[in-house]
Amino acid sequence: MSISAASRAVFLILITVVVVDAATAQGRATPNTQLASKDIDTRVEALLKQMTIEEKIGQTVQYSAGFATGPSASNLTYDELVAKGQVGSMLNVVGAERTNHYQHIAMEKSRLHIPILFGLDIIHGHRTTFPVPLAVAASWDPEAAETVARVAAEEARADGIAWVFSPMVDIARDPRWGRIIESNGEDPYLSSALARAWVKGYQQDDLSKPGSVAACVKHFAAYGAAIAGRDYNAVDMSELTLRQVYLKPYHAAVDAGAATVMTSFNSINGVPGTADPLTLTQILRKEWRFDGFVVSDWGAVAELKNHSIGDGPTVARKALMAGTDMDMEGDLYGTVLAAQVRSGKIPESVVDEAVRRILRVKFALGLFDHPYTNVGPAYSPTPERREAARRVADETMVLLKNDPVEGVGSLLPLTAKTKTVALIGPMADDARDLLGAWTVTGSPKDVITLKTALSERLGDKLLYAPGCGLLAGEDENVLMSVTFAGGAASVDQSVADDDKTITEAVDTARKADVAILALGEPTNWMEGEASSRVHLGFTGNQEKLLEAVVATGKPVILVVLAGRPLQLKWADEHVPAILEAWSPGIEAGPAVADVLFGDVNPSGKLPSSFPRAVGQEPLYYAQTATGRPARGELNRMPRNAAEKFVSRYMDEENSALFPFGWGLSYTRFSYAKPTVDRAEIPVREVADNHQPVATVSVDVRNIGSVAGTEVVQLYIRNTEASVEQPVRELKGFTRVTLAPGEMKHVTFPLGFDELNFYGVDLKKTVEPTTYNIWVGGSSLAIAETSLMIAE
């Protein structure tokens, strides 16, 4: 089912009506009640009355007056524009000195003294850099996300930034897409829970509170579904899937009160996201009652020309009319809208409504009353914030594998018996890459590397060899010398001759009892935006290094430090212990050491499926069924027609190497058979009642010898729906900490929210059916029960 061109045309015509309606309504029922307050409305209307058309359009203009985070950047003299009231917002201006500079001009020299709203990409912490968002998602702990956002917000506000371009809640089911690092992974339920937490952490449910910043939910919509995992590429999907899967986390964030939304670069079913009335007006404004403002992505209004939907004035008009209120670093609204308003092509009421939305957020943030920041220049993370960064990083670690080694037992956790440890690999002492991609103010100087942390624990029992570079040969120099700030990053030339350094690493491994390999991906331009990859193995000569060290016969522990699921098939076949440590931020070394030495029992679970081969992508657990499901062994050629003519690959298994929800512990947990308190529920009771109607219970016991935390996960399958449903869908999770031998009774509510799906009419529905229900420690959960929904 596709979104019809005709329905989009109708929305376009209706937009004027819609925006005027919204403007006149009082006491609006919106998710963020603060933005709809009468007091703010009164102040906004009083100001709007005094504004010229140029001043109004000025509010819709955002410039980057620092470094560039996109391909083209304006090179204007901003002081004058700000003084004329022709700039409403700026990005990439950081710190008290720089933000106050422009703010003083706006407040003192512009006619109406409207403050500038400074925005910045604060993705996983500001000065205190936490693990990357995909790692935070691996904690399955909304409180961890809230902590990251809270600390970031306080630090941002001190630096004059009142608006963060986060959270990114694009569902990401394809690790070829580099921006998976910024996401919460593949699942709408998990991502929605985290989206709410990020927004709460940034906004504290009150934008006027000290240390609150406005969140910006991005990228609306469905950016993560870019065809073939290539960044900026088109998205083509049914409206059913859009609503059933992709829109959910954005909606959760809007419901949690997110004050702003950013458009996406991609088109959706042929309509570019920045000029899409269906998503920006019909869904966001009308259905979700979003009352904040929408900013384009960087240059995305001007880039509409490349989408071939018109010349400059036309695309600016289309974007504004569709619901994009602010033009980020595009320089188009500022130059082409006024004439179209004067000629009547754009109703002034549309501009007024965009300005209202922007001013509302500025008033709610208290910018008119407190436009400046008094905090001095850049500062380092405090001990308390470092501690928070470590605790969050501890929770993000996913133990993928810990098989016993003959004559040694499990390699992890390391014990006092371990005499000498060889730490090998280019990530072991690489502060820049351990920090993680997409940090504007985070500093490698604040990073405690694995080498530093392990040598603190092991002293001269630690041997070290970098082994190789993250990239091979010249590429490394080229890539590493490009940074967002345009400056040159330092390149460690000493690791350029990989053959020599791999030999040295092998010698080092031979001298030790155990080798820890710290391998990954260079974050600078290989992860994050514009960093799609078709090969998902370790970059450069790292695979060669791994194979060479494994060939020594020494027991190997692999620590993977990367912001996307990598292809770990060879490693899985040859390495007994694998820890996924992501990009952990400033406390990288201590957090990895916490888990390696067992001070922290790993509890992270994968928010993304890890593939066996790139050809499986997009790979995710919640696939819909096929008429010819593959059963049994797929790791060999078919023996008969029943094994051949099924939905399978001939050269690889269907399943993930490490599935969604997967993660081991140093203890083991057992699950009793789950139960539901009601065997059968009338469908009307579920449909009419948005409260839970049943409770699933399960007893979970720690059957090992150390305390541990399990993420208990609940999955359902609707077996008789009118629209084909996923073979499994996450509908509940909770973290449970258990002492050895301890048992806890865990319960999950089920009601309309968990059981509904979108029908062919694109409305949420529940129908008579049976739900299969599984509870366990991953998407492979086997403890099963069921619930019947009767006529």
Nearer to ligand BGC, 532 or 725 (CB): 532
One of 41, 121, 325, 521 touching ligand BGC (CB under 6 A) = 121
In whole angstroms, the minimum distance from the beta carbon of 35 to ligand BGC comes to: 21
Q: What are phi and psi of 582, to 5 degrees?
A: 60, -150
Q: How far is the CB of 299 from ligand BGC (least distance, A)?
A: 8
Among 140, 298, 610, 660, which residue sits at the site for ligand BGC (rule: CB under 6 A)?
A: 298
CB of 135 to ligand BGC, least distance (A): 18
Query: Binding to ligand BGC by residue 538, rule CB under 6 A?
Result: no
**290 lies in the binding site for ligand BGC (CB under 6 A):** no
Angle at alpha carbon of residue 55, lines to 50 and 61, rounded to 5°:
145
Q: Which is nearer to ligand BGC, 164 or 557 (CB)?
A: 164
* Cis geometry, peptide bond prior to residue 221 (ω within 30 degrees of 0): yes
| R_g (Cα) of the chain, nearest Å | 27
CA angle 135, 139, 140 (to 5 degrees): 120
- Measured on CA atoms in the order 411, 413, 419, 424, is the torsion positive or negative? positive
Least CB distance from residue 332 to ligand BGC, whole Å?
16
70 part of the interface to ligand BGC, by CB under 6 A: yes
What are the two backbone dihedrals, phi and then psi, of residue 275, each rounded to the nearest 5 degrees? -130, 35
Which residue's CB is nearer to ligand BGC, number 91 or number 545?
A: 91
How many residues touch ligand BGC (CB under 6 A)? 9
Of the candidates 332, 297, 291, 298, which has an alpha carbon nearest to the alpha carbon of residue 315? 332
- Is residue 146 close enough to count as binding ligand BGC by CB under 6 A? no
Residue 88, CA atoms < 13 Å, CB-side half-sphere: 31
Pairing state between β 89-91 and 117-120: parallel
Q: How far is CA 89 from CA 61, 375, 597, in A?
A: 6, 21, 48
User: What length is written for the chain?
Assistant: 791
Residue closer to ligand BGC (CB basis): 70 or 585: 70
218 contributes a contact to ligand BGC by CB under 6 A: yes
Site for ligand BGC contains 331 (CB under 6 A): no
Which are the contacts of 146, defined by CB distance < 8 A and separation ≥ 6? 197, 198, 200, 201
- Which tokens in the block code for residue 33? 């009640």
Chain residue whose CB lies nearest ligand BGC: 69
Phi and psi angles of residue 182, each rounded to the nearest 5 degrees, phi first: -90, -5
Please classify residue 37 by burial: count the beta carbons closer than 10 Å to its beta carbon, then call 0-12 exposed, 13-18 middle and 19+ buried.
middle
Identify the residue among 41, 297, 580, 587 touching ligand BGC (CB under 6 A): 297
Phi, psi (rounded to 5 degrees) for 775 = -130, 135
H helix intervals, 25-120: 38-50, 53-59, 78-83, 96-104
Which of 297, 325, 352, 430 is the catalytic position? 297
Residues forming a β-bridge with 117: 89
CB 465 within 8 A of CB 516: no
Distance (Å) of CA 502 to CA 353, 425, 466, 505: 62, 9, 8, 5
Task: Please state, in angstroms and rounded to a whole number, the distance separating the CA atoms of residues 426 and 430.
Answer: 7
DSSP three-state, residue 566: coil
- Whether the CB-CB separation of 646 and 631 falls below 8 Å is answered with yes
According to the binding rule CB under 6 A, does residue 69 interact with ligand BGC?
yes
d(CA 154, CA 753) in angstroms, rounded, equals 33
Eight-class DSSP state of 406: T
Local structure of 260: helix, strand or coil: strand
- Give the DSSP H/E element, type plus range, for residue 757: strand 757-758
Q: Give exposure, 45-58, as e/b (b: 16+ Cβ within 10 Å).
A: eebbeebeeebbbb
| Least CB distance to ligand BGC at residue 181 (A) | 12
> Binding marks (x or -) toward ligand BGC, 90..109, rule CB under 6 A?
-x------------------
**x/- letters, 155..194, toward ligand BGC (CB under 6 A):** ----------x-----------------------------
Indicate the SS3 state at residue 761: coil
Q: End-to-end distance of the chain based on CA atoms, in angstroms?
A: 28
Per CB under 6 A, 529 contacts ligand BGC? yes
Q: At its nearest, how many Å lie between ligand BGC and the CB of residue 94?
A: 12
Residue number, 68 or 496, with CB nearest to ligand BGC: 68
| Strand partners for 578 | 401, 558
Shortest CB 231 distance to ligand BGC, Å: 9
Positions in 17-46 near ligand BGC (CB under 6 A): none
d(CA 586, CA 583) in angstroms, rounded, equals 9
CB 776 within 8 A of CB 782: yes
Closest approach of Cβ 23 to ligand BGC, in Å?
Answer: 28
Q: Reply yes or no on whether 231 is catalytic.
A: no
> Nearest distance from residue 129's CB to ligand BGC, in Å?
17
Question: What's the closest the beta carbon of residue 202 comes to ligand BGC, in angstroms?
Answer: 14
Residue 110: CB partners within 8 Å, gap ≥ 6? 82, 83, 84, 85
Shortest Cβ distance from residue 121 to ligand BGC (Å)?
5
Smallest separation (angstroms) from ligand BGC to the CB of 189:
24
Using rule CB under 6 A, residue 394 touches ligand BGC: no
Contact residues toward ligand BGC (CB under 6 A) are: 69-70, 91, 121, 165, 218, 297-298, 529
Q: Which sequence positions are flagged as catalytic?
A: 297
